[in-house]
Chains A and B, each alone.
Chain A
Amino acid sequence: MTNPTTTSCPKCGAPISEDAPQGLCPKCVLAEASTVPEPTSSPRGKTPPPTVEEVAPHFPELEILELIGAGGMGVVYKARQPKLDRLVALKVLSHDLAAAPAFEERFNREARVLARLSHPNIVAIFDTGTAGPHAYFMMEYVDGVNLRQAMHTGGFTPSEALALVQDICAALKFSHEEGILHRDIKPENVLIDSRGQVKIADFGIAKLVGQDETNDVTLTMQGAALGSPHYMAPEQFETPGDVDQRADIYSLGVVLYEMLTGELPLGRFALPSEKAAMDARIDAIVLRTLAKERDARFQTAGEVRTEVETLTRNHNTDKSVDERTNLPEARDPKSGRKFAIAGACLQLGAVVGAITSVSAWTQTMKITSMRGAEAPAMMAEALSQAVLASSIGSVLGLIGTVLLLVALFGQEYRAKWFYWFMMIYSILSLIAFPVGTVIGIICLVYITKRKEEFETN
């Protein structure tokens, strides 16, 4: 039994019996095992995809291993290239497409362009051509899952989503600079390999198989049907002949929205921060990628990336600490916490000092009204106690104040308790000291204005 024994299942909450293998809830485990795996992509069209046996004779130089996905554009097989002893993904385009007029010439022209795209975040194309009735792409085999499958594996925290967006932007920036649009960014085309690296597949293939500048109606219709309507920019429907890199940015925005909320941004959609706890500034980025008018969007993938980087560098964007966003420049929330706790403790010390001092003063007052030989000595003692307590209190208070200010302004420490502590502290300061008046007002205004930062962190 390798697991710490838990008494109840973290999923269904039912108690876990002692004989449960590996301490896992048997019912949840078997129920999960009985779920139908998320298909790589849903097969469309009526004809079933060609089987491994049907395709294999056309590719004598490959060992076709298994069918790994079927979509509107074609079918993908996992294959081995014995000559180089490597795995490849073989994408065989559907017959209907290959039958379209002038397809072959267009296909070859586009393929040459796509083969130029060499980037760590882009699935490399090794070869293209036609074999028998099949037009095909031979591509890098990515040993991993697509974003759709990853979303079904527990979803993403905002900082994970933003980290992925940065990698997607890197790929888009590169391809856009090469003059190539993706045109079909969607979770199924964003792959994550076993090391967590993002790889974008199917660059430009949407254009190749359907949308084409000639704006041939049937082809465009075909293209629209092939693409994924929910992820397409408005202009991809309205003016398919006039689409630029900003269409990819829109699609990226849909993917980001889906990663953050688990939903598509349909109609009057809610802001991501209304759906889940996250930095409200993410909303602004999402809205700018999803603007209906492309002029209102980010104009380049580089801009999106810079914006996301700035956000993740300065702030932890969600509750969990994510290594990728804790860049060297990022503030360490742990040290902010230390300052806040030390400051708070010293302030409490100062309060104790103040109380001691006040009681010593009261004592002094009483002694003043006393008569007798020992009165002056007692009074001196009480007085010195009062002075000592008040000076120790002041020193503690002063150091405490400095630490609190460092935590608040320098380290930008944002915890709920700290919000309320600073609130009480500021009010007490206002009442207690003339200097405190100034500090109190500043802190009060500051923390009140930024209340939501304390809520979300």
Chain B
Amino acid sequence: MVMRARGDAPEARAALGELCEAYWTPVFRFLCREGRGENESRDLTQEFFTRLLAGSGVEKAEPEKGRFRSYLLGALKHFLAERKRNAGRQKRGGGAVVESIESGGTETSPGMQIPDPGATVSDAWFDRGWALAVMDHALTAVQSGLEEAGKGKQFEVLNPWLIGDTENLSQADAAEELGMTTGAVKVAIHRLRKEFRNAVETEIGQTVTRPDEIKEELRYLIEVLS
């Protein structure tokens, strides 16, 4: 989808709109984390995306520069820096020349750095929020798929098994609750995990430029959660 989102065509803009909508929360949380109030953060998030979507934002997400996550954080930082500068200028009475947030984007490097040792705590926080958003989207996708198939209850009862195998969850209880045999529950869990795995891959696939980056990105997201 990052590929699709590149360029000025209307469909590119629509694709970018979708991506931004999906990752609104990590941006919002990042701004909160930096010490802003909820209302201010919400307005700022809105403004950021509005301006991002108004400019030809994704042009800078070149394949070699990688991930949409990194791009968005870079753009966000640039946007904040720009804003600060403008605020200063206004204070000094200068005319505010609103620059496109991409211009000179390279100086804040919207390209990508995998675990960047120099990254700030806030960067890690942004990535953590991103990981949660990926997980949330994948869960929602699987859930709505199952609900459409009339298996919403199955999702509710069995989703705790998405954490992997543990003795602390009772399949017998789940089987009783769902009126299934334990064998059928095992099959359903196996399938749920498979669907979730695919949903995560699809979700991450939308934010990277090459399929082979999916695994690497997922590994990184797990790392930032630790």
Tell me which residues across on chain B come within 8 A of A31, comparing CB atoms.
164, 222
A7-23 vs B, Cβ < 8 Å mask (1 yes, 0 no):
00111100000011110
CB-nearest residue of chain B to A21: B136
| Chain B positions 89-116 with a Cβ under 8 Å from a chain A Cβ | none
CB-nearest residue of chain B to A151: B186
Tell me which residues across on chain B come within 8 A of A32, comparing CB atoms.
162-164, 193
| Chain B positions 172-226 with a Cβ under 8 Å from a chain A Cβ | 172, 176, 180-191, 193-194, 196-197, 200, 215, 218-219, 221-222, 225-226
Cβ-defined contact, A11 with B189, below 8 A: no
- Chain A: residues with Cβ within 8 Å of the partner, total of 47
Task: Say yes or no for A48: interface residue by CB 8 A criterion.
Answer: no
Most buried by B among A32, A144, A198: A32
Task: Say yes or no for A3: interface residue by CB 8 A criterion.
Answer: yes
Partner of B163, one of A11, A198, A321: A11
Stretch at the interface among B12-20, B65-73, B153-161: B153-161
Cβ-defined contact, B194 with A150, below 8 A: no
B111-127 vs A, Cβ < 8 Å mask (1 yes, 0 no):
00000000000000000
Partner of B200, one of A33, A153, A193: A33
Task: Say yes or no for B138: interface residue by CB 8 A criterion.
Answer: yes
Task: Say yes or no for B168: interface residue by CB 8 A criterion.
Answer: yes
Given known pairs A21-B136, A27-B226, A30-B225, the reply for A10 and B168 (CB within 8 Å) is yes
Cβ-defined contact, B186 with A24, below 8 A: no
**Assembled-state Cα–Cα distance A27/B219 (Å):** 11
Task: Say yes or no for A267: interface residue by CB 8 A criterion.
Answer: no
| Chain A positions 24-48 with a Cβ under 8 Å from a chain B Cβ | 24-35, 37
Task: Say yes or no for B44: interface residue by CB 8 A criterion.
Answer: no
Task: Say yes or no for A60: interface residue by CB 8 A criterion.
Answer: no
Tell me which residues across on chain A come within 8 A of B188, comparing CB atoms.
194
Give chain B nearest CB distance to A255 CB in angstroms.
14
Cβ-defined contact, B225 with A27, below 8 A: yes
CB-nearest residue of chain B to A9: B163
Cβ-defined contact, B187 with A193, below 8 A: yes
Tell me which residues across on chain A come within 8 A of B194, comparing CB atoms.
37
Task: Say yes or no for A320: interface residue by CB 8 A criterion.
Answer: yes
B42-66 vs A, Cβ < 8 Å mask (1 yes, 0 no):
0000000000000000000000000
Tell me which residues across on chain A come within 8 A of B218, comparing CB atoms.
30, 33-34
CB-nearest residue of chain B to A32: B164
Give chain B nearest CB distance to A420 CB in angstroms.
27
Cβ-defined contact, B131 with A320, below 8 A: no
Partner of B162, one of A19, A29, A154, A320: A29
**Assembled-state Cα–Cα distance A30/B29 (Å):** 20
CB-nearest residue of chain A to B171: A154
Given known pairs A10-B163, A34-B219, the reply for A145 and B186 (CB within 8 Å) is yes
**Assembled-state Cα–Cα distance A438/B217 (Å):** 74
Give chain B nearest CB distance to A51 CB in angstroms.
18
Task: Say yes or no for A192: interface residue by CB 8 A criterion.
Answer: yes
Task: Say yes or no for B135: interface residue by CB 8 A criterion.
Answer: yes
A428-454 vs B, Cβ < 8 Å mask (1 yes, 0 no):
000000000000000000000000000
Task: Say yes or no for B139: interface residue by CB 8 A criterion.
Answer: yes
**Assembled-state Cα–Cα distance A363/B168 (Å):** 57
Task: Say yes or no for A196: interface residue by CB 8 A criterion.
Answer: yes
CB-nearest residue of chain A to B196: A33
**Assembled-state Cα–Cα distance A12/B191 (Å):** 23
Tell me which residues across on chain B come within 8 A of A196, comparing CB atoms.
180-187
Partner of B197, one of A25, A33, A155: A33
Task: Say yes or no for B170: interface residue by CB 8 A criterion.
Answer: yes
Tell me which residues across on chain B come within 8 A of A2, comparing CB atoms.
155-156, 159
**Assembled-state Cα–Cα distance A225/B160 (Å):** 40
**Assembled-state Cα–Cα distance A115/B191 (Å):** 30
Give chain B nearest CB distance to A32 CB in angstroms.
4
Tell me which residues across on chain B come within 8 A of A33, comparing CB atoms.
138, 162, 193, 196-197, 200, 218
Tell me which residues across on chain B come within 8 A of A192, comparing CB atoms.
183-184, 186-187
Give chain B nearest CB distance to A438 CB in angstroms.
42
Task: Say yes or no for B165: interface residue by CB 8 A criterion.
Answer: yes
Cβ-defined contact, A28 with B164, below 8 A: yes
Task: Say yes or no for A157: interface residue by CB 8 A criterion.
Answer: yes
Given known pairs A26-B132, A27-B225, the reply for A322 and B172 (CB within 8 Å) is yes
Tell me which residues across on chain B come within 8 A of A320, comparing CB atoms.
170, 172
CB-nearest residue of chain A to B169: A10
Tell me which residues across on chain B come within 8 A of A19, comparing CB atoms.
29, 132
**Assembled-state Cα–Cα distance A197/B183 (Å):** 7
**Assembled-state Cα–Cα distance A154/B161 (Å):** 9
Give chain B nearest CB distance to A388 CB in angstroms.
49
Give chain B nearest CB distance to A21 CB in angstroms.
4
Task: Say yes or no for B39: interface residue by CB 8 A criterion.
Answer: no
Most buried by A among B163, B176, B197, B221: B163
Tell me which residues across on chain B come within 8 A of A153, comparing CB atoms.
161, 165, 186, 189-190, 193
| Chain A positions 84-102 with a Cβ under 8 Å from a chain B Cβ | none
Give chain A nearest CB distance to B176 CB in angstroms.
8
Tell me which residues across on chain B come within 8 A of A312, comparing CB atoms.
none
Given contacts A19-B29, A33-B197, 18 further A-B contacts (CB under 8 A): A3-B156, A3-B160, A11-B163, A11-B164, A21-B132, A24-B162, A29-B135, A30-B134, A30-B200, A31-B222, A33-B193, A35-B164, A153-B193, A154-B161, A154-B189, A163-B183, A320-B170, A321-B172
Q: List 14 A-B contacts (CB under 8 A).
A: A10-B168, A11-B163, A11-B164, A24-B159, A29-B162, A30-B131, A30-B221, A34-B218, A35-B164, A145-B191, A154-B165, A192-B187, A195-B184, A196-B186
Which 9 pairs, one residue from A and one from B, show the smallest C-beta to C-beta distance? A196-B183, A196-B181, A196-B184, A28-B163, A21-B136, A10-B168, A32-B164, A27-B225, A11-B166
User: Which chain A residues have a beta carbon within 8 Å of chain B's beta carbons?
Assistant: 2-3, 9-12, 19-22, 24-35, 37, 144-145, 149-150, 152-155, 157, 160, 163-164, 192-198, 320-324
User: Which chain B residues have a beta carbon within 8 Å of chain A's beta carbons?
Assistant: 29, 131-132, 134-136, 138-139, 155-156, 159-166, 168-172, 176, 180-191, 193-194, 196-197, 200, 215, 218-219, 221-222, 225-226
